[in-house]
Amino acid sequence: ADAELVVGTQRMVVLPSAARLVKDGKTRAFVVTNGRLEERILRLGPAKGDLVGIVKGVAAGEAVVTGDLSALVNGQPVL
């Protein structure tokens, strides 16, 4: 038998897979801050489909980059 127990709920930021990059065994995202890219290491929460909860690394309302993240560099200007 399978059972699921919901103990509580928690609101958190979610990101699609297109906004996440796995490099050196760590999941990262690029956030736009003051016209530049800031690479952040993420601590992941639960996933559902293409979305994953972010426990630490990106705050609600921050702009994240999606797409080909492998070509981006920390500190790169955003045009």
User: What tokens were used for 65?
Assistant: 């980059």
**Number of alpha carbons in the 13 Å side-chain half-sphere of residue 79:** 1
pLDDT computed for residue 79 by the predictor = 85
The rounded distance, in Å, linking the Cα atoms of 22 and 41 is 9
Whole-prediction pTM value? Answer: 0.85
Mean pLDDT of 8-15: 85
Confidence at residue 9, expressed as pLDDT on a 0 to 100 scale: 77
Q: In this predicted model, what pLDDT tens digit does every residue of 12-59 receive, in sequence order?
A: 899 999 999 999 999 999 999 999 999 999 999 999 999 999 999 999
Say if residue 73's pLDDT is above 90.
yes
Q: How far is CA 4 from CA 1, 17, 46, in A?
A: 10, 26, 14
